[in-house]
Amino acid sequence: MKRKRGFYEKFIKRLQDLILSSIALVILSPIFLLIAILVRIKLGSPILFVQERPGLNEKIFKMYKFRTMTDKKDENGELLPDSVRLTKFGKILRATSFDELPELWNIIRGDMAIVGPRPLLVRYLPLYDKDQKRRHEVKPGLSGLAQVNGRNAISWEEKFDLDIKYIDSLCFVNDWKIVLLTFKKVFVREGINSETSITMEPFNGNTKKV
């Protein structure tokens, strides 16, 4: 059964996202230019990291971010671990979430929203259970309920539970609470890394007890 969307989600959320992301893109354009120059100098080309991610109804789109890693490879031509390729400059971009700024273009294009479950890897799609697949009932977001409640410091199951909670309580007030909490979390730099990984360990399937 298809989820029923409320008035806010149907008529206001997309317009709000389009207006706010367009304004942010204009205001932050000097920062965009500065970061682009620094990425080119410190990490080389390309400036942007482009990767396919699943969005609304699992439709695949190309997500844009600033590069934070080098392309260093081992003697076999394989990429070195993230912890080796992530530079000090890249860590700063991630800690401040400046690497996420190009996703404003994804929001303008309609691939993403300002608030929603974060877009994950395409290869995770077959691993979701029935409840976890519900995260694709809405557009993925620049930030979300999981990001303001632990980000990479919480387990995958906790993240998915928060994604579903967001979807079931989606409204104007909750979206703006998440936006304001996002600014706070970025400022204090909480939850950037998990306990076992430089960012977040890969999702290998559902581990909940049935």
In tens, the pLDDT along 80-114 reads: 887 788 889 999 998 888 999 999 999 999 999 99
**Sign of the C-alpha dihedral, residues 58, 64, 69, 70?**
positive
Q: How many CB atoms lie within 10 A of CB 171?
A: 13
**3-class state of residue 24 by DSSP:** helix
* pTM, rounded to two decimals: 0.89
Give the end-to-end CA distance of the chain in Å, rounded to a whole number. Answer: 23
In tens, the pLDDT along 20-40 reads: 999 999 999 999 999 999 999
φ/ψ of residue 63, rounded to 5: -100, 140
